[in-house]
Amino acid sequence: MTPKKHSILHMTPLAEIGGCEVNCLRIIEGCGEFDHRVVVFGARGPMSARWENAGARVLHLDQWLLGRARFEEALSKWSQVEEMPEAVFLWSTSRLPTVLEVLRPWDVRWSVYLGNPVQPGLAHWIRLQFQEWFHPAPTSVTLVACSEHVAMSHRSAPYFRRFATRVIYNAVDPALDVPRHYRELAPGMGPRLGMVARLDRIKDHKTIIRATALVAKIRPDIVVEFAGDGPLMRELQHEARCCGVADQVRFLGSMPVGYLLASWDIYTHSTTDSEGMGTAVAEAMMSGLPCLVSDLAVMREVCGLDGAAYAPAGNAEGFAAAIVALINDRTRREMMGRNARVIAREIFGLPKIAAAYERVVFPREGRAGP
């Protein structure tokens, strides 16, 4: 007789393509022996089919954008007829007190994902504290931060410091780990650089655009491609025109990254302290791309000493100088790419990350992991 599978319920506000939603997919793929259900508080989105293709059953409450009261009512009605899972992975802290209170009757272990550092704002904390007075959190909640950078910011925050917190990095798609050729980039060879990131203010695309303008004076054949959508699309396109590099800087929108990572010569990632982990950097590392990133604590944590080159955050001149140096040094690019792949396999490998998540909710029987 086949034993019954353990059941995990994944809960997420939206089904859009984002870091938490993609990491949810990776855990579903990595814990394939479990029965996975996904409840989306909002409407169907691009990730819905991807979760389904990975073997999960997906339900959409379609109430997330209609206000807290409507959402709470819908969640309550759904929970009264839903079979209680053995564990819950909540892929957001949005309305966390409300979700925990509505589902308080469930005797399950909770894993709550932290994807970004705590953002400043007194009103936000007053609102959370007020909700906590009326909806005290259960003791079965573990916060899972995608980096030590994120964990530290929550461990000292008034609302979140009451919870146990663990650091588990985001997993990277194993399909990106493929052999790579590092080509010479003589003048006229068109060096291709890229960055995968949502076009918002957590990231810093403008520094890359301004650096491209400086590099183009020496290497007018440079091409920089940005993969991702977001509210700053027009602003960044305007910046490229003002810097005179509208032909060199291309905006690709959201698209699968495997092909892009395989076609780029250098991966650039200019970001801010609001960055949670930079999963796109880890993906570039797994693909063997030489990476040039902002010199921030979170990037040092992800890339280590040998996994990337660093440029001062927000400094276009520093990025430009580093880009030119990498373009001119094929040997260094190859060494960096190989080092990055070794680091990525060790830190971001899917079996290891999936086993770590499993141990959070099934601590006595979770896999030891590699």
State pTM to two decimals: 0.91
Write out the chain's pLDDT in tens, 370 residues. Answer: 445 678 999 999 999 988 899 999 999 999 989 999 999 999 999 999 999 999 999 999 999 999 999 999 999 999 999 999 999 999 999 999 889 989 999 999 999 999 999 876 655 555 556 555 555 666 689 999 999 999 999 988 878 888 999 999 999 999 999 999 999 999 999 999 999 999 999 999 999 999 999 999 999 999 999 999 999 999 999 999 999 999 999 999 988 899 999 999 999 999 999 999 999 999 999 999 999 999 999 999 999 999 999 999 999 999 999 999 999 999 999 999 999 999 999 999 999 999 999 999 998 765 554 4
Beta partners for residue 57, in sequence order? 37
Bin 209: left if φ > 0, else alpha if -120 < ψ < 50, else beta: alpha
257 burial level (CB within 10 Å; 0-12, 13-18, 19+): buried
Is the CB of residue 255 less than 8 Å from the CB of residue 249? Answer: no
Q: Where in the chain is the domain with CATH 3.40.50.2000?
A: 7-171+349-361, 175-348
Q: Which of 334, 321, 347, 363 is nearest to 169 (CA)?
A: 347
Is the CB of residue 7 less than 8 Å from the CB of residue 27? Answer: no
Mind listing the pLDDT tens digit for each residue in 100-122?
Answer: 989 999 999 999 999 999 876 65
Per the structure block, which two tokens stand in for 153? 């910011």
Report how far residue 270's alpha carbon sits from residue 210's, in angstroms, rounded to the nearest whole number. Answer: 11
CATH of domain 175-348: 3.40.50.2000
7-171+349-361: what fold? Rossmann fold (3.40.50)
- Model pLDDT, residue 1: 44
Task: Please report where in the chains the tokens 């997919």 appear, as a residue.
Answer: 25
DSSP letters for 45-113: -HHHHHHHHTT-EEEE---GGG-HHHHHHHHHHHHHHSPP-SEEEE---TTHHHHHHHTTT---EEEEE
